[in-house]
Structure 1
Amino acid sequence: MKIAEVGNIIEFKDGLQGIVEKVNENSVIVDLTYMENFDELELEEKTVINHKRYTIIHGSDE
């Protein structure tokens, strides 16, 4: 399992995407305002995602 780094863009839970802001031992804190349709979704600006529950779609090494 590859762990995301700060600045990576990840995808999780039915296609939601966000930018990793902080990496914790078991999870990452993600800024969801990255998504173009963020306002329509009525979500909180940030959320916590377990490392097992996301995939990195754009990393710093690409």
Structure 2
Amino acid sequence: MKIAEVGNVVEFKEGLQGIVEKVNENSVIVDLTIMENFHELEIEEKTVVNHKRYKILNHPNEI
């Protein structure tokens, strides 16, 4: 299992995407405000995602 790094864009649940802001032992803290439809979804700006529950979309040096 590849663990995300700060700055990675990750996808989880049904298509939610965000930028990793902090990496913890079992999870990452993700900023969801990068999504175009963020305001329409009426969700919190940040959330915690377990390492087993996300897919890394890109790395900081690929942006």
Using the size of structure 1 for normalisation, the TM-score is 0.96
User: 2:10: which partner in 1?
Assistant: 10
User: 2:26: which partner in 1?
Assistant: 26
CA RMSD across the alignment: 0.9
| Separation (CA, whole Å) in 2 of partners of 1:61 and 1:7 | 9
Q: Which runs of 5+ in 1 are unaligned?
A: none
Using the size of structure 2 for normalisation, the TM-score is 0.94
Q: Which runs of 5+ in 2 are unaligned?
A: none
Q: Structure 1: which 4+ aligned runs deviate by more than 6 Å?
A: none
Count of paired positions: 62
